[in-house]
Amino acid sequence: MGRLDGKVAIITGGARGQGAEEGRLFASEGATVVLADVLDDLGQETAAKIQGARYLHLDVRSESEWQATVDAVVARHGRIDVLVNNAAIDLAKRFEQTTLEEFERIVSINQTGVFLGMRTVARAMMAANRGGSIVNISSVAGLEGVKGRAAYGSTKWAVRGMTKTAALEWGDRGIRVNSIHPGIIETPMTANLRAFTDADVRAKTERNIPLGRVGQPIDIANMALFLASDESAYCTGQEFTVDGGIHH
């Protein structure tokens, strides 16, 4: 039996990278998977390759689109058991050079998008009275300061904080809320980092990682699977670091 047999899961940022990998893994473990993204062509293509998956357009910044997505999933499947808030963008820029427009765009996707997703899905979970699991993808930049990541890091700290508050408030409704904090993971979002464009930089980066390699999307997907499943039934309000051992 699969660890997610019978569960219905929404995964944002599901068209590619970590979200797509989570979708593939969840489906292989028996879940009905809904991939949500703004990359419609790629999202449709990804969903078509995953048995039992479908794709829905979702701009996570939009309250109305979140409600429409949740309503559509509940109408079709009767409930939502799992939400993975995976959608995010990065910005590598010094603090004093970051514009207000850049800062607000990062916040709207990485922070407001997670807030709206948590709130909208939690309401549906409460209405169904079945409990559920919300998994928020934060970052090691949500655990410590990282140079060049003032905007990005601030949103990932916020995700960590929202996770803990929601876990306290929703625990009595059977809703577990946890955060995952990836280190350097090889995905389309990080493709332009020098660790992935310069062989020497990559080698140096990997020498500094205790496990000796950069992370892959499956590393995050495996942790998300654990937190989505009943195997983590006594875990809530916690942060799970997946970074090869860099953060202590």
**pLDDT confidence of residue 205:** 82
List 152, 157, 170, 240, catalytic entry: 152
For residue range 190-219, what is the model confidence (pLDDT) as tens digits? 767 666 667 878 888 888 899 999 889 999
What is the C-alpha separation between 118 and 128, in angstroms, rounded? Answer: 15
**pLDDT confidence of residue 191:** 63
What is the C-alpha separation between 155 and 242, in angstroms, rounded? Answer: 18
The Cβ of residue 226 has, within 10 Å, a number of other Cβ atoms equal to 16
Which residues of the chain carry a pLDDT beneath 50?
A: none
* CB neighbour class for 97 (10 Å; exposed up to 12, middle 13-18, buried from 19): exposed
In the chain the domains, ranked by start, together with CATH numbers, are 8-188+217-239 (3.40.50.720)
152 is catalytic: yes
**pLDDT confidence of residue 184:** 86
What is the C-alpha separation between 190 and 139, in angstroms, rounded? Answer: 13
**pLDDT confidence of residue 200:** 76
